[in-house]
Copies of this chain bind each other. A is one copy, B any other.
Amino acid sequence: MSRLHVKYRLFLFAAVVLAVSSVYSQAAQADDPLPSWNDVSSKKSIVEFVETVTTKGGPYFVPPAERIAVFDNDGTLWSEQPMYFQLFFVMDRVKAMAAEHPEWKQKQPFKAVLEGDIEAVMAGGKHALLELAMATHAGNTTEEFSQIVKDWLATARHPKTGRPYTEMVYQPMLELLAYLRANGFKTYITSGGGIEFMRPWTEKVYGIPPEQVIGSSIKTKFELRDGTPVLVRLPELNFLDDKAGKPVAINQHIGRRPIAAFGNSDGDLQMLQWTAAGQGLRFCLYVHHTDAEREWAYDRNSDIGKLDKGLDQAHKRGWTV
């Protein structure tokens, strides 16, 4: 308990393993809520934090209603390599919709997608990606889009592992989510990914219900179609939930400041800063991908999930690394 005088702490959690339900024994799980955590120091810190804020009468006790924990998704709860999984969805949607759009064969960035030329797609930059996202995410109702995502997840497979994307989740983080909830925490996702892209599966995969998913979004419009109300998805960005947008979205959605935040990239820095600056004890953790053998190793120089400023801040402020 010697370090509990510090207001908040940030840890870099190095070891991540992809979730395979059979890799750890059920017996071990019963005694230990975090059996897959090989990083002894990080694990000890988390348990210490949770025990401290849940100790009634203790100096750092936090009432259950205020035990808010926010998690980035891409690279924190599930993998983001070799590229964001939602981009695979975009590519597959372009191919599936190509028959209705013969003009795409001649039109960039669609042409590059149809030819499987990922490099050319990426060369188009943010503008090309936004155009692809709008073409594949808008023009349907919220219910139709939800079904499209579910259908895609049922058959799509990760190009390297051949596994469903919803199995490319990190076992230690699943344990952490369950451990926090067992201790009265409300767990939220705060992702740069699409809010409606995540909601159809986060409850089943992470135990996080739709109302606790925060993400980027496009605008929607209420319409009566033959007397039946629908929400139509429009090709217009509503909110980009990344970097300085994350604290804004957290405040908009939750209306109170989290006491724990978990991320893996510079896109999560402001969310961690916002969390750390609150009153009382706070817990912030960066998942640092260092295991090239079982997963991917990347940080400062990665196009996806770049962790550079976050590492600097950790070093500069003397946070535990």
Contacts and interface: CB of A to CB of B under 8 A. Distances in A.
A140 B248 CA distance: 14
Nearest to A186: B211
Contacts of A244: 221-222
Interface residues of A, number: 34
A248 B274 contact: no
Interface in A184-224: 186, 195-196, 199, 203, 209-211, 213, 217, 220-222, 224
Protomer copies: 2
A114 B273 CA distance: 41
Top-10 shortest CB links A-B? A210-B255, A222-B244, A211-B254, A199-B255, A222-B247, A229-B273, A229-B274, A229-B277, A210-B256, A220-B248
11 contacts: A142-B251, A209-B255, A210-B254, A210-B256, A211-B211, A211-B254, A211-B256, A217-B252, A222-B245, A222-B270, A224-B273
Interface of A: 65, 142, 186, 195-196, 199, 203, 209-211, 213, 217, 220-222, 224, 228-229, 231, 238, 244-245, 247-248, 251-256, 270, 273-274, 277
